[in-house]
Structure 1
Amino acid sequence: MRRIIGIDPGSQRTGYGIIDADRNSAVYVTSGIIRLPKQALPARLALIFDAVSQLLEEYSPVEFAVEEVFLARDPRAALKLGQARGAAIVAAVKAGLPVAEYAARSIKKAVVGSGGADKAQVQMMVTQRLALLGTPSEDAADALAIALCHWQTSATQRLLTSADSVAPSQFARGRNR
C-alpha cells in the first residue's frame, strides 16, 4: 500500500485527505480542514506550512498531490490561492515527497466522470468510492478527490510504462518488420 495525501489549498480553509492505495483499491485514512484565523496572509501561509508539515510527519505519506491554481474572476483571490498552494508544496518538498499537480477539471473527471461536476457530486462520489459512513465537508472531499485522482493517474502511468517496457522492439518506432 502507498499512502497518498491530497491537498485542496485555500487562504481561509485548506482541505486535506489521506488514502492508502494499492493496485486495485483505495482506503480512507483521514481527512479534514486546516481552518485559518483572520490574520495577515503571511501568518496564514506559515500556519498552512506548519499544519501540512505536521500531517506529513504524523501520517508519513509517500506521495503528495495538490490542485493547480485555476483562473479566478478576482486576480487577488487567485494570487492568494497560489500562495497557499505554494506553502503546502514547500512543506512536501522539504519532507522529500514528489509533488503531483492536477487541474480541477481533471480531478472531477477522474472521480465523478465529468469535468464540470459540482461540489455535491464530488462529495457523493468520494463518499461512495471510499465507503465512508458520513459525507466529508466540501474542502475535505475535494482533497480526497485529489488523492483519488492521483492514485488513478499514477496507476495508469505505471501500466503504460510497464507496457512500453515489454513491447516488442519491432514496433518501437511504429514499423512492422
Structure 2
Amino acid sequence: MASEQDKEKTVQKALVSMGIDPSATATGLVVLRENGTTTPDLLLEDEIKTGSMRGVERTRHIVERIMTTLHEVKPDRIVVEGYSLGKNPNATIPLVELGGLLRFMLVLDGFKWYDPRASELKKFVTGKGGSPKEQVMMYVLKRWGHTASSNNTADAYGLAAMGLAVSNRLPGITKEMRMVVGKLSINCN
C-alpha cells in the first residue's frame, strides 16, 4: 500500500503559462494555470498601454512591466507572439525595438520561451491562420469561455493556452491544435 508521501510525489504541480502579445501601444499579458479541465484558471489578464509615450521611454515601460510580472508569477511556460512586420516603418521599427529588448531581457534573466508567428496563434485558436483579431476574441470565448478585455489580451490568452498545450496540459484540444503546438520549439537566445 502506498504511503501518503508516495502519493504526494505522484501529484503533478499545476503548470502555469504566460502569453505575451507585444505591441507598441497596448501589449497583452495573460497568465493561465491548468486545472485538469478544458478551461484553465485565469490568474492574470493585463494590457500595458503606453498613452503618449514614445521611443525608448515607451519600450522601457513595456519591458519593465513584462519582466516584473514574469518575476512575480514565475510561469513554467512563456509564449511570446513572434514578429509580425508590416510595410509601415513607423509601426515596424517600434515593434522590432520592443521585441529585441524583450528577448534580450528574457535571455539575461535566464528565461526560455516559445515564439509562434501570429498565423500559428490564429490557426491554433480559430483553425485558420489568417483570421482577424475579432475572430480570435470570439474563439477564445467559444473554446475557453473567456471574454477577453481586448483583442490584445485575447491573443495573449491564446498564447498562454499554447504554452499549456505544448506540454500536453490542456485537455480538449483538437488534432489540428496539437499539430500547431507540436511544431513549436523553445528559444533561449
Task: Measure how far apart 1:89 and its partner are.
Answer: 2.4
Provide TM-score, normalisation by structure 1: 0.78
Question: What pairs up with 1:17-166 in 2 under 5 angstroms?
Answer: 17-21=30-34, 25=38, 26-132=40-146, 134-155=147-168
Partner SS state of residue 116, structure 1:
coil
Question: What pairs up with 1:3-22 in 2 under 5 angstroms?
Answer: 3-21=16-34
Provide TM-score, normalisation by structure 2: 0.73
Distance 1:102 1:19 in 2: 17
Which 5+ residue runs of structure 2 have no aligned equivalent?
A: 1-13, 169-177, 183-189
- Tell me the residue number matched to 1:171: none
Distance 1:43 1:13 in 2: 14
Whether the aligned pair in 1 keeps the contact of 2:59 and 2:97 (CA below 8 Å) is yes
Distance 2:107 2:55 in 1: 21
Letter in 2 for 1:84: L
Task: Measure how far apart 1:142 and its partner are.
Answer: 0.9
Structure 1: 4+ residue segments shifted above 6 A: none
Letter in 2 for 1:15: G
Q: What's the RMSD between the two structures over aligned residues?
A: 2.2
Letter in 2 for 1:14: T
Percent identity among equivalent residues? 25
In the superposition, relative to structure 1, how do residues 22 and 98 fare at CA in structure 2: closer, same or farther (>3 Å)?
A: farther
Distance 1:77 1:90 in 2: 20
Corresponding residue pairs, total:
157
Partner SS state of residue 76, structure 1:
helix
Partner SS state of residue 11, structure 1:
coil
